[in-house]
Amino acid sequence: MRVIVPEHSTGRLPDAWRACVGTGRFELGLRKDYQDSLALIQREIGFRHIRGHGLLSDGVGVHRPYEYGGSRHVRHAFTYVDQVVDAYLELGIAPFLELGFMPEDLASGDQTIFWWRGNVTPPRSWTEWATLVRSTVAHLVDRYGLDQVRQWPIEVWNEPNLKDFWQGADEDAYHRLYEVTAHAVKEVDASLHVGGPAISPGADEWMDRFIEFVTARSVPVDFVSRHAYTSGPSQHVPFGVYQTLAPASELLAQFARPREQLRGTPLADLPVHITEFNSSYRPDNPVHDTAFHAAYLAPVVAAGGDFVDSFSYWTFSDMFEEVGVPTTLFHGGFGLLTHRQIKKPTFHLYSFMARMGDQVLTRGDDHLVTRDPAGRVTVLAWAPVREDGQTLKLSLPMPGAVSAFALRSSVSEEAGNPWRAWCEMGRPPSPREHQLDALRAAAEPAVSHHALPVTAGRADLDLTLDRHEVTLVEVTPVVTDETPPWWDESRLFQEHS
């Protein structure tokens, strides 16, 4: 059956999909591979915000107590904060600030999380914490201007509902943290945006109680946030895990929850941010590296904007150290890019989205069709996972065109699948330059192109998709054919002896 794509738009394509992307801990932003990777991401995709952990952890060096004249003082130092944020802004991306974790010297305990030891205990002094928050936010406003910083959401802590992330998963303590922090932010400027509770999946009641708490005590809140993942428990092997995955639709269900929970409360109109999402929440699950992963997430990325204001892919790069320094190039990291900028298939899901038009013409279970102001029609299509072969027939509106030029780019098991190439190479842990070149070549989408005849303002487009394929077809109307009347291709290859 051929889908007749309507000529007129059914509305704008929400760009929640590009509103934010995740990153490893803050000071990784100082690294060259990180910045090169982010530059590539911004050039080919273009996110608006970036969010990660550890802004206030000791690796960034903000909270710096010292003794002088016999008493304790604290210097707030922004050496690295400024270097990273300057780099972000130069790359055209702004921070989505997450306030955490606890500076060691300010911490009330010594519980840490991750290989890099983020302290997850409440502050010893709520006053000193408030000062730290105020000083940090005030510094940003001073350096970058209120107009800028007002557009940077400020989230309080990360997944406080988990014991690993917040000592004892102490909900009252989190509420206090939120309240103190939100007030500290607003003291800098009331127009700044603060929110929480940044919870992990499976903790809906935390969201309900957070809504109650802030409502009851009139605590400032400008957005609510949560995370979304679909993986089951880790099945550990050395340097990695396997996990089961729920169907991708489960991600959209998780996206939808906060809006449902807000409904009927005084906060019903607040923006909802999914400040992390992915299939697996583990940075060492090889599924992240596969062609399957792009096809699995395609319907989520294509439709997520219907449910939330942002959903932030966790994370843009494999430069990420929560379970230590990766021991092999492909290691199941979250990244859209590996170290040294090999593009994974999921990178292209996003790079294809970035080439879609701004007007939706139609949508389906396995496709999304848009148009841009110049009349270019763009089709994103994906093969349902766990199924082989797949065809899609479309009739596209091409008013005023004499023909159309279709440029198709695809990733699948066979194309744009550098992980597969790396396996074929024998999984070299740290590939040589010539191997990296081969992987980079293998990471590019397959490209093909055709002229489509246009009849009565319409062009037929027939697609067959390979296993785990995600494909982008850009169909540009040809308004004038400049082929001169004297052109005769048959004269091109004449022979003589």
Q: By CB under 8 A, is residue 260 in contact with a copy of itself? A: no
User: Please, what sign has the CA dihedral across residues 322, 323, 326, 330?
Assistant: negative
Binding residues for a copy of itself, rule CB under 8 A, total 99
E-strand stretches of 355-402: 359-364, 367-371, 377-382, 391-397
CB of 483 to a copy of itself, least distance (A): 5
* 27, 98, 155, 276: the active-site residue: 276
- Write down the catalytic residue from 159, 322, 469, 474: 159
Residues 97-136 that bind a copy of itself (CB under 8 A): none
Closest CA to 353 of 299, 397, 407, 413: 299
Question: Under a CB-based contact definition with an 8 Å cutoff, are residues 251 and 303 in contact?
Answer: no
| Least Å from the CB of residue 435 to a copy of itself | 8
Site for a copy of itself contains 32 (CB under 8 A):
yes
Closest approach of Cβ 161 to a copy of itself, in Å? Answer: 22
Contact 330, 419 (CB under 8 A): yes
- Footprint of a copy of itself on 55-74 (CB under 8 A): 59-61, 64, 66-69, 73
* Annotation says 128 is catalytic: no
C-alpha distance from residue 411 to each of 252, 293, 475 (Å): 23, 11, 18
Which tokens sit at 147? 């107009």
Under the binding rule (CB under 8 A), the answer on residue 496 touching a copy of itself is yes
481 binds a copy of itself (CB under 8 A): yes
Cβ-proximal residues to 430 (8 Å cutoff; 6+ apart), any chain: 328, 329
Distance CA 439, CA 418 (A): 5
Tokens of 338: 């590996």
- In the bound complex, what is the minimum distance in angstroms from residue 329's beta carbon to a copy of itself? 8
- Token reading at 250: 């489960």
By rule CB under 8 A, what string of x and - marks binding of each residue 330-359 to a copy of itself?
---------xx-------------------
Work out how close the CB of 375 gets to a copy of itself at its nearest, in angstroms, rounded to a whole number.
Answer: 12
Stretch that binds a copy of itself, among 14-22, 47-55, 188-196, 443-451 (CB under 8 A): 443-451
Q: Which helix (H) or strand (E) holds 130?
A: helix 126-144
- Rounded CA gap, 144 and 155, in Å? 19
Does 304 sit near a copy of itself (CB under 8 A)? no
Active site residue 159: yes
Q: Which of 109, 324, 364, 453 binds a copy of itself (CB under 8 A)?
A: 324
Residues 405-424 within binding reach of a copy of itself (CB under 8 A): 405, 407, 409, 414-415, 420-421, 423-424
Q: Just list the catalytic residues.
A: 159, 276
